[in-house]
Structure 1
Amino acid sequence: MIACSSLLEARQEKATRRRAERLLQTEIDFISNPAFKTLDVEGEFEIFSECNAASWEGNNNSPSLKNPRQLPAHLARLCEGDVLAADEEQALFRRMNFLKYKANVLRSQLNPETCSDQELDTIELFLDEALRARNQIFRSNMRLVVSIIKKCVTPHVTFDDLLSDGIWTLMKAVDKFDYDRGFRFSTYAYRAITNYAYRKIADQRKERSRYLQAKQEQPLEEVSEEKRPEMDEQTWLELSELLDQKIENLDQREQLIVRARYALGRSSKVQTFQKLADQLGVSKERVRQLEQRAVAKLRAMSEETRLDQIHELVG
């Protein structure tokens, strides 16, 4: 019995030590505030109690929770959070950052060899409560993301592409916002999301411009590397036309690379990786990676449609 008890204690100590080591390796990102260091017990209690349970879950009877019109159901659900009043917003940001600060202070005092489960429970509780506050802020600002993204959609940048970036930017903005500067989070988030969306649109335009320029210059390029399989001219033309139809499923850069590397059409030459890298403004290795990705997609399509000739060409 004594040996069994000692074994259990050893296992428990090992589990506690591993748990402490995981906490020590966890990044705690927060915006500090000088007031956190001077709070007394009463001040800490005020922060812990200033956001009641109702504010976490939202009021389901609130008119502000009605689904925004002209949005799919899954997006409407993302926008169901109550819009926060200024004092509610400040309280949530203060609570979130203070809890992270407090968890970080306690974590800095941890010794994995001697700490107790109770100490670890306290730190994890603070982090869990901070995450709840963060999630509430995030849900309350999702409508802002959707409203911005809807205005930024272009024929070449879809709503879904911008939405995923907008959500990611909102998450980063929540972590980086300093509530003590006196302005609303929506102002800060609006600028961050809008700037990110405009940068993505600008990058897409540059990429499209490079693609169109490279496509126009492609027939004029002097190339030397051969990669045409051994087959008669008529068979090659038929096969290249068939492959040309399939590569419409690839993105623009992949289409350009496949056409250049496999000499689609009536050209008997292919372009080198370096030549394509210069045209697209990327590295030679990046062109190689893009070709491999495109070829993998074409292989999958050839298997699905049993186009053995395509599989042989790109295999």
Structure 2
Amino acid sequence: MNIRPRRNRKSAVIRAMVEETKLGVENLIYPVFLKDGKNIKEEVASMPGNYRWSVDKLLPEIETCVELGVRSFDLFPAVDESLKDKTGTYSWSSDNFYLHAIRAIKERFPEVMLMSDVALDPYSSDGHDGLVENGKILNDETLPLLNNMSLAQAQAGIDIIGPSDMMDGRIASIREHLDANGYTEVSIMSYTAKYASAFYGPFRDALNSAPKSGDKKTYQMNPANKREALIEAELDINEGADMIMVKPAMCYLDVIHLLKETFPVPVTAYNVSGECAMIHAAAKNGWLNYEAAVYETLLSIKRAGADGILTYFAKDFAQMTQR
């Protein structure tokens, strides 16, 4: 047989024609950090190019992103310590700036997709995703608190609820609560395989949401485990998840691929803060080309099977593809 694969690589036109994986800005979800107040745009030191925004400054940024083709956003709140308590009650308070921001964004840009974060850690005085008692994370006692948070976000106009807490049974609990209150069309993108990773540091800096004691290994997954992700995914899908997520992305491409090959629902992946920070740091030192590294990273996540990618590179990628 006279097979020479290089013949299919000999020109840009041919390479594009036979390209197996297509990556577009429509595949990307842009995570952004919100802060209460006005005229705020604070760069996160460990995440160059990413900011804590007050909603008045974020609206023009969203407009710019929409013009670039970025139409999906994941909102995360940086909450003042004085508003945090054991049960995260500020998360569903009518005074919550995060809920007001959702309404303001949807009023200005009704066509965009807004995804939320559902977990206690941004609002908890303990910094954990669940309720803490005597050093233990209480699973079932946390679920009503997540229900309250999810309903408040749905009422504010969120399109997709993103439970990131990793409590057992929370998808069924949230779905039932939303449906019972008439929010049957609000989607759930479950953080299904969320690993106890070393790559979350810059994110926790951005929100000041690190645990005050202990770690999250009793509820986030062991990085050594892959088959366990199948159990988590089957549970979440059976409980009503519309989409499932793997977090982080780069070190867990095999898990993304496994879930995509096994289940019929859309699979997403979170290209997390530490992964973003590594590329920025290496590019700043001249050790790699920033744009080439961003493209290759996102392409690898898409190739592994991710239908959607949450990434801090979304705006930069959009600008790159328009040149």
Query: Normalising by the residue count of structure 1, what TM-score does the alignment of the two structures yield?
Result: 0.22
> Which structure shows the bigger proportion of residues in helix conformation?
1
Structure with larger RCO (C-alpha < 8 A, sep 6+): 2
What is the TM-score normalised by the length of structure 2?
Answer: 0.21
Larger Rg: 1
